[in-house]
Amino acid sequence: MPLFAALDIGSNTFRLLIGNVNKGRIDDVLYERRITRLGNGVHQTGKLQDQNIEASISALREFSSIVSKHGVKHLKAVATSALREALNSDVFIKRVSAEADISIEVISGEKEAELTLKGIILTFPESLSLNHQPLLIIDIGGGSTEWILYTENSPVEMGSIPVGVIKLTDSFIKTDPLSEKDITELNREIALHLNKLKLKIGNRIDKQTRLIGTAGTFTTIASIDLGLEAYSREKIHLHRLSLNSLRAISNRLIDLTLNERKKVKGLEPERADLIIPGIQFTINIMDFLNFEELTISDYGLLEGVLFDMLKKNDEKNIQEA
């Protein structure tokens, strides 16, 4: 069976998944992730920064080598907020093509949400009966946040909010440890965006709606809650977290210095500066939309890209036959 590879070029983290699909489920052959911080500074300068470009290209060279060693015939790389917004995206994309032999497709926020939904729905256990439960799916990225309201086997509405944890960190985290002023201004900015979201979908969320969080902010929160020594997809996926537990994590971290946060079990040092904005964003989402519990998915965009590739390959084979 031929292997397929999906590559998510995020604003903070690059993720590679090699696998195939068996009976409608993904069989992982390999999963790799690298924190490159490609989106750092884009919000302030409008451009990708040199040191992040070099770190990102180095990671992509490594991924390209891994893909070749596994004999992968089909690779799809998608990029999100950082490359949507940076003025020098074209230069980066050309360098990646020349130096890592990877072609990058920059996708819209709406396409990102669509693929994220596909990856979540198709990888959740059938026992959870997601098809019969209203869902609000949130993906807090580095530069943007995607949301999907899903019910009765189809998305009701989806969209993208132009703010993520890198943007929030760059704009509002000025002191170490964080000052009350930083926290107040951070939460004020988050509230501006969530007020708009609440006006749009708030009346369609009820007690039956389940909140699902995907991507790095949520998986990091789960890792901290579980006290993991090393990242584990198996332990993080489907982890449930109450709003009270989330507030307790926030209270534990918010007065720590950056160096102290880097030593917290379950928190990767490269994410230590981003975690407070991520937690505050999550708490605000749950407060604004009246959720008491969050389910965390370690599957989403990456798996959606892989499913999309396989579907198109099957359609091509059918046409050729």
Rg from Cα positions in the chain: 19
Helix, strand or coil, per DSSP, at residue 265: coil
The full DSSP string for 94-111 is HHHHHHH---EEEPPHHH
User: What pLDDT shows up at residue 153?
Assistant: 65
Taking residues 98-126, report their average pLDDT: 87
pLDDT at 320: 35
Give the model's confidence band at 127: pLDDT under 50 very low, under 70 low, under 90 confident, else very high.
very low
Per-residue pLDDT at 171 exceeds 80: yes
Q: Of 267, 262, 269, 261, give the one whose Cα is nearest residue 228.
A: 267
Q: Which residue has the tokens 């007065």?
A: 255
Over 90: is that where the pLDDT of 225 sits? Answer: yes
Q: What is the Cα–Cα distance from 259 to 279, expressed in whole angstroms?
A: 18
What pTM did the predictor assign?
Answer: 0.85
Choice between 191 and 151, residue whose per-residue pLDDT is larger? 191
Give pLDDT tens digits for 227-270.
998 888 889 999 999 999 999 999 999 999 999 999 999 999 98
Confidence of residue 130 (pLDDT cuts 50, 70, 90): low
Residue written as tokens 């490159």? 36
**210 token code pair:** 């389940």
* pLDDT, position 321: 25
* Residue 186 · residue 57 · CB < 8 Å: no
**Mean pLDDT of the region 59-67:** 96
Least confident stretch, 72-86, 164-178, 302-316: 302-316
Structure tokens at 108: 């819209």
Average pLDDT in the 196-216 region? 89
pLDDT above 80 for 155: no
User: What are the backbone angles phi and psi of residue 89, rounded to the nearest 5°?
Assistant: -60, -40
More confident residue, 84 or 26: 84
Q: What is the mean pLDDT of residues 196-203?
A: 88
Identity of residue 285: I
* Residue type for position 150: Y
Among 80-84, 130-134, 146-150, 295-299, the range scoring the smallest mean pLDDT is: 130-134
pLDDT on residue 313: 67
The secondary structure of 35-95 as a DSSP string is E--TTTTHHHHSS--HHHHHHHHHHHHHHHHHHHHTT--EEEEEE-HHHHH-TTHHHHHHH
pLDDT digits (tens, 9 = 90+) for 77-101: 999 888 998 999 999 999 999 999 9
pLDDT of 26 over the 60 cut = yes
Q: Helices (H), strands (E): how many in the chain?
A: 13, 11
pLDDT for 216 = 86
As a whole number of angstroms, the distance between CA 37 and CA 146 comes to 19
Choice between 23 and 133, residue whose per-residue pLDDT is larger: 133
User: Is residue 132 pLDDT above 90, yes or no?
Assistant: no
Domains and CATH numbers, the chain: 4-109 (3.30.420.40), 124-298 (3.30.420.150)
